[in-house]
Structure formats: C-alpha cells, structure tokens
Structure 1
Amino acid sequence: MFMVRCERAGVSGAAVQRQVSALHTLVRRSIPVLLVIGLPFFFVGGPGFYSARSRVHLWDLGHILYFGLFTLWLTGLASDWQAALSRGRRLALLVLLPFVAGLIIECLQFAVNGRRPGMDDLFRNTLGILLVLVFQCWPLQESRQRLCLGVLRAASLVLLCCALWPLFRSVRDEDRAWREFPVLADFESKGELSRWYHANQLRQEKGIVRHGSCSARVQLSTARISGVTLLHFPHDWHGYRWLRFSVYNPLNGPLELNCRLDDSRHRRTHGPYSDRFNTQLVLRPGWNDLAIDLEEAEKAPKGRRMDMSHIAGFSLFVVQQKAPLALFLDHVHLN
C-alpha cells in the first residue's frame, strides 16, 4: 500500500527502497557513536541514593538499551564473519562478546567507584542481547525452528515485562503518594513499604491496626541503631503544623523511640547532629498516637531554619536493644 501511494505521488519503488536503505545505513553507522557516548554513564552520573524510585529503575533499564544496541551493531558485522565462521559460531560470538563486555564493565565499576557487581545488571545486559537476537535472527525455514524462535520471542517479552515491572510499580506508588498527600504512609498497599529505607524490615500487618485495615510491622534488631527511614514522599511540607503517626509498643513497659527529621541541605552537606531535628519519644505499652511540632522542627538546626519545602527524610529508630522486637507503625500524616 505504501509503495502504491508513493508511485501515485510520482515516487518510484526503487527510490523509496534507496531512501529506506540510506536511513538504515545511517542508523547502523550511528550505533558506535551512541555506544561511545553511553559508556561513561556506567561510571558517572545517574540517580543518587535519595533519588525517586522511578528515576532509579528507569536508569537501570539503560542496560537493556545499551547492550541491545551493542548486539545490534555486532549483527551488522556478522556478515564479515560469514566466510570464516559457521552460523552457529557467529551466533555464539554474538552472545558471548556482549556478555563478556558486561562482565568487564561490572568489574570496572567496582574498581572505579566501589560498586559491587550486581546480578540484576547482568540480567538486564543479557536481556538486551536476547531481545536483539530473537527479533533480528536470520530467517528460519523449518517449522520446528520457527516454533523454537517463537517460543524464544515470547519468553524474551515475558522477561522484558519482568524488567519493566519495578518501574511500573514505583510510578504507580509515586502517583498514589501524591494523590493521598498529606498522608505519607498508611500501609493500605504493599507498595507503600518501598517508600522506606530498610524496607525488608517492614511487613504489612492486618492484625494490629490503628487506622484503616493495615499497619506496618517494623522488625528491630539488637544493633547499636535499628530503625527505618521514610525517603520517598512529597517533600514540600510548608504550611503544615504537625507530623502525626501511631506506634504500637508490644512490651509490658515503656520503650524509648528516637525520631529524626532532616532537610535536603542537611543530607547534601552531611551536616552534624545539631543541623537536624532530633527528639526522643517514650512509648507506653499498646498504641501511642504521637505528634511532632513542625514549627519546633523548623527551628531545630543550629544557626539556620530547616527548609520545610525540601524535607528529605523522617526516621524512627531504637538504640542498643537487649533483644529483637517488633513495633507496629500506622497512619503517618501531616496536618
């Protein structure tokens, strides 16, 4: 249909084919440039520890794009190997070369910035290789080979969905956090647990609840400092007076709970203890409905005021407990 329309417009099919071929050649020739430009980003730049979860997951997907382009570039070179290597060996090299390159990059990352090699990154590297190979494969004639290729394509798409899932989940929870603000965490969805640092210490709880249908069980250890920190939330608290939350103490006696609140300037400059808000709260047995005066928190940093429009984190922790214990946290909100 496209060719017919072009011919009706006075453009011959041969001319269209030449244009498509020229565009294809341009894309192929631009890939090495993109690979050179993209290589430094494995070692510098990118999201930091306090960056939004969606930005982190989106950045991680760059592994799929980079190694997909790398493999696509190698497939263009495969014709040069045709006389010297069998088809099976060419395919093996198309898999092996990008995979080894990924391993080298992971090792160099450890040498350059101390980042330990991660299986997640290797998975994304391999997925980029696989996607290009199964969708840029040489034509297969036998029905059994076509069936095998179809299965591989379906499997690669399933793996791609698995790789995209963390990004989708974080975007969905970030949207929910903005819609529910000034509620910071009510734990009605499991996605809210990922808003906290040391999320592996939190578990959704339906038996001991202060508000709604769920709370969070917070597992604490005997480490010198054990707790959790809310990192991912709307950071502009300007105009709110109170930070309120409920904590359940399962012990028979009182428990001292430490609270910390800091802004982006404190995090950026790694300020001292006196540059943030710190307080100790005594929990009686059972549920405790607690409130922090944000006007007091604003005045807490020595020599300046806390930037309430750029709150960076809210921490709850205990110090040097004699035995592990679990607290229950619910309905963290502003008013």
Structure 2
Amino acid sequence: MEAVSSPNRPGWLGPRSLAFLVVLIVTPLLFFGGPDWFNGPFGSAVWNLGHIGFFGLVTLAAHPWRRLSGWQLWILPTVVVLLIGGAIEVIQSDMGREASWHDMLRNLIGVWFVLAWHPLLDENRSASPTTPPALIIASTLLLLFELGTTAAVGVQQFKVAHQLPLLYDFRHDDPTPYWYGELTPSQEHASPHEQSLRLDFDTKLYSGGSLSNLPSDWRDYEQLSMTLFNPNAHPLQMTLRINDWTHSRGNNAHSDRYNIRLTMQPGSQTFTIDLDDIEKAPRTRRMEMDNISQFKVFVSRLPEPATIYIQDLRLE
C-alpha cells in the first residue's frame, strides 16, 4: 500500500527541520570567530548580516505562531531575543569581542522579518493567520536598510581597492571610515591635492593616526612614498608601523611587523621606503604584501601637543 503523507506533518527535510539543523551548526560561531576573521570592512559587514539570518532561522525553527497569536506573537519573541542577545553580547565582551547594540537590533530584524512573513514560511499555511501589512512593510524596510548599508560598504571597498597608487583618497571630507586618530581634512599645506589631512598628537604614551582601511595588495609596486608637512619650529621624532592581516590576528609582536623611526624636519618632507624592506621586516616570515592591513604613524611621550599635515601617501 502506498504511504500518504499528511500536509500537517512534513518530512524531516521541511523548512522547520532544516532551520533547526542550521541553527545547531552555526551556534558555535556566536562565540568562536567573528568579523575579524575577514579582511576589511566589507567582510565584517557581511558577517554582521549573519545576526539577521541566524535569529530568523531560530524563529522559523521555534514556530512561535503555533502557540501565540496577536500582539503576543510579536512581544514575547522580541523580549526573549532581547534577553538572549544581551546575554550573548555580555559573554562575547568577556571573550575579547566588542559588545554591539547594533547586533541586537539585527537579531530583532531577523525575528520580525520571519514573524511578518511566516504565513509563506509555514508548512501548514492554511492555518497561519495573515500579518498586518504595516508590520510586513516595516520589517522588510528594516531588512532592506541593512542590506543597503552592506552594499554601500561593498561599493566603498571596491573604490578603496582600485584607488592605487594612492593609499588614501584626499578628497574625502570624512576620514573616519578609513583612519583612527585625531585627523581632519584641511586646506592648509594641501599640495599636491586639494586638501591635506591634519594629524594632531597629544602627550599620551602613544598618539598618532592609523590608516586601517586601505588597499591591501601592494605586490605590483616597489616603493612607498609619504609626504608630510611639519609646521613646528623643531624636528619631530615619529615611528612608522606597517603590518599585514596575519600580524593583526597574531600576538602583536614588535618583531613581526615593519617599524622605522623617522625624523620630521620643519617644513615639507617626503619619505621613500622600499617595499622589499617592508616585506623582509618580520623576523620569522615574509610580510604578506597582498594582505596589508595597517599603516600607522605615531609619536611617544611628547612634552607638548604637536600637529603635522599628511600631504600625500602613495605607492610607486
């Protein structure tokens, strides 16, 4: 006799079962791994979308609409996910990861999107109540906003990867997506570009500027050229540091990166460094010249605050 499957009892490969299986597989990644597994902002942005997918799958696996209805269907899962998400962020912060309220919002977007569209995701669609159109529109717009933000980061990173030989595009009005430190665009000492970058040093143990969003593949070039302007009446001792992603994920050993002391005389000065020296700088390996992650200029224990202007930064 031929077996007849019930529409209310789908096979083990139904959407709910698959969602539950994926959740089991992915859960360890909440605590082991993270955005720093990827090179650059776009990889991190794509990783962060995983919060939406993960909690969407959790909601699909839990099928809360089988037991809840009306506003309870929205309020109770929201509260539960806020509590779970908050606990995860606290645990991650204790493990060296940075807690993020934005991640908690992404968790909720995953829940809300599945709740809004669950009549189409449920195996027993005929028994699923319809969702108010306002909730469908709101949850979908939130998801599209996150996808659009990630796409914008992708476009930005495409431009960064293709701006060589420039390591930084001095036309940017806001350096914060690219640099860390006290840097502001300036019309002073701007040649050869329309504007320069003013870098302010303070008197802390270490103070400087770090270009962490830059083209990473330097293999087709031979030299690094950096032009700076020192408006002070006296020379300024600085350190230039360059490292790759292997170093960034390692123990940050001084011998595993490129470091050089520079004396910045008053006025404009161009420093030229052979990339071969940078590649050979790590003591036990070669610098990965197709995987550069950071360019940093800093000072140490200045007796008083100082300022320089970055005029040009390029490969040759």
TM-score range relative to shorter protein: 0.7 to 0.9
1:78 to 55, 58, 65: 65
Q: Secondary structure at the match of 1:217?
A: strand
Q: Secondary structure at the match of 1:64?
A: helix
Q: Structure 1 residues 131 and 234, CA, compared in 2 at 3 Å: closer, same or farther?
A: same
Q: Distance in 2 between matches of 1:167 and 1:176?
A: 14
- The TM-score with structure 1 as length reference comes to 0.76
Deviations 1:199-237 (A, max 9, x none): x53333344412222332323222111112233333333
1:186 to 151, 169, 176: 169
- Percent identity, aligned pairs only, is 29
Structure of greater Rg? 1
8 Å CA contact 1:185–1:333 kept in 2: the answer is yes
Q: Distance in 1 between matches of 2:305 and 2:142?
A: 39
Q: Distance in 2 between matches of 1:136 and 1:24?
A: 19
Q: Structure 1 residues 116 and 239, CA, compared in 2 at 3 Å: closer, same or farther?
A: closer
Q: Structure 1 residues 189 and 154, CA, compared in 2 at 3 Å: closer, same or farther?
A: farther
2:89 to 67, 81, 106: 106
Q: For residue 47 of structure 2, what is the aligned residue in structure 1?
A: 59
Between Structure 1 and Structure 2, how many residues are aligned? 303
Q: Distance in 2 between matches of 1:154 and 1:251?
A: 57
Q: For residue 116 of structure 2, what is the aligned residue in structure 1?
A: 134
Q: Give the partner amino acid of 2:298.
A: F
Q: For residue 97 of structure 2, what is the aligned residue in structure 1?
A: 115
Deviations 1:81-100 (A, max 9, x none): 25xxx633343223222222
Q: Distance in 2 between matches of 1:44 and 1:304?
A: 27
TM-superposed CA distance for 1:267, in Å, is 4.7
Q: Distance in 1 between matches of 2:130 and 2:54?
A: 25
Q: Give the partner amino acid of 2:303.
A: K
Matched, 1:211 2:206: no
TM-superposed CA distance for 1:41, in Å, is 0.9
Shifted more, 297-306 versus 126-135: the winner is 297-306
Q: Structure 1 residues 253 and 194, CA, compared in 2 at 3 Å: closer, same or farther?
A: same
Q: Structure 1 residues 231 and 69, CA, compared in 2 at 3 Å: closer, same or farther?
A: same
Q: Distance in 2 between matches of 1:116 and 1:300?
A: 31
Q: For residue 201 of structure 1, what is the aligned residue in structure 2?
A: 182
Q: For residue 331 of structure 1, what is the aligned residue in structure 2?
A: 312
Q: Structure 1 residues 108 and 238, CA, compared in 2 at 3 Å: closer, same or farther?
A: closer
8 Å CA contact 2:189–2:311 kept in 1: the answer is no
TM-superposed CA distance for 1:269, in Å, is 5.1
8 Å CA contact 2:64–2:73 kept in 1: the answer is no
Q: For residue 238 of structure 1, what is the aligned residue in structure 2?
A: 219
TM-superposed CA distance for 1:52, in Å, is 1.7
Q: Structure 1 residues 302 and 23, CA, compared in 2 at 3 Å: closer, same or farther?
A: closer
Matched, 1:281 2:272: no
2:159 to 168, 172, 176: 176
Matched, 1:29 2:29: no
Q: Distance in 1 between matches of 2:72 and 2:280?
A: 69
Q: Distance in 2 between matches of 1:92 and 1:307?
A: 50
Q: For residue 317 of structure 1, what is the aligned residue in structure 2?
A: 298
Matched, 1:224 2:205: yes
Q: Secondary structure at the match of 2:216?
A: coil
Map 1:141-152 → 2, pairs under 5 A: 149-150=133-134, 152=135
Q: Secondary structure at the match of 1:87?
A: coil
Q: Give the partner amino acid of 2:71.
A: G
Q: Structure 1 residues 169 and 327, CA, compared in 2 at 3 Å: closer, same or farther?
A: farther
Q: Distance in 2 between matches of 1:265 and 1:101?
A: 33
Q: Which has the higher helix share?
A: 1
Q: For residue 29 of structure 2, what is the aligned residue in structure 1?
A: 41
Q: Structure 1 residues 129 and 256, CA, compared in 2 at 3 Å: closer, same or farther?
A: same
8 Å CA contact 1:210–1:287 kept in 2: the answer is no
Task: Give ranges in structure 1 of 5+ residues lacking alignment.
Answer: 1-17, 141-145
8 Å CA contact 2:175–2:184 kept in 1: the answer is no
Q: Structure 1 residues 220 and 126, CA, compared in 2 at 3 Å: closer, same or farther?
A: farther
RMSD of aligned residue pairs (Cα, Å): 3.4
